[in-house]
Amino acid sequence: MHLQLGAVLACAAIFVGALTQRMTGLGFALVAAPLLIVVAGPVEGVLLGNALSAVLCVTVLATSWRFVRWRRALLMLAPALITVPLGAMLALRVPTAPLLVIVGTIAVAAVGMAAMSNRFALLPGRGGAVVAGALSGFMNATAGIGGPMLAVHASSARWPRDVFVGTGQLFLLGLNILSLSAKGLPSISPALWIWSLVALAVGALAGNRLSARVPERLGRPLVLGLAGLGSIVAVIRGLSMM
């Protein structure tokens, strides 16, 4: 993929992901991470996704903190303290091509789990929260995608939309801070940093305006579709490099 075209596609994915996460509480990593991995590589792409996601979580949390279930968020973060370093170790030691295949496959599986979360109570209760937190930590460190398991637990626990948005931002913020602490900040060009932050800000502002107008049932299939496509692209890219 031509680098300039890849950067444009990555910024478009960042915009859509930020817009969707501001409206529904989830979507940034699912949409943006696969293309960021293709553009910047499996290590730097995941790190960039972690950094941008942390910034976005802070902005969304500023308007949704009243709905946070603090104990449940902390319960989910506890096992992530163990699984994030394990995921970071894998991400830093596996060569680029197979790592692309691994993270792309993880992303595809995550999309499938998120798609099924409305139909089945897969991770209910406190035990489900612990499992979701552990899996989210590993997936966030390796593939930059920590939200799907959160969505599965939230759906199993029947969280209202406001609770999901607020609690989700605190949990994802903690995950991204842990991931960045384990691996460091991404080494990318200043231009890509600037354009990524601009796309993030514009997407968040657009999502803020649309959050009260667009029902979640319309945005969710689009998010999952884009996420699935980007994940498949990452797998194909990795296979072509092997």
The span from the first CA to the last CA of the chain, in angstroms, equals 16
| pLDDT for 73 | 93
Band the pLDDT of 229: cuts 50, 70, 90.
low
Q: How far is CA 123 from CA 87, 118, 174, in A?
A: 21, 12, 20
| pLDDT for 15 | 92
From 164, 151, 143, select the one nearest 84 (Cα to Cα).
Answer: 143
Given a cut of 60, whether residue 219 has pLDDT beyond it is no
- Specify the higher pLDDT residue, 166 or 124: 166
Distance (Å, whole) CA 107 – CA 113: 10
Query: Do 165 and 24 contact (CB within 8 A), yes or no?
Result: yes
Percent of the chain surpassing pLDDT 70: 85
Whole-number average pLDDT of the chain: 81
Given a cut of 70, whether residue 90 has pLDDT beyond it is yes
| pLDDT for 87 | 87
Lowest mean pLDDT among 40-44, 133-137, 141-145, 231-235: 231-235
Domains in the chain, number: 1
Q: How far is CA 237 from CA 42, 126, 226, in A?
A: 11, 38, 16
Q: Which domain holds residue 183?
A: 3-241
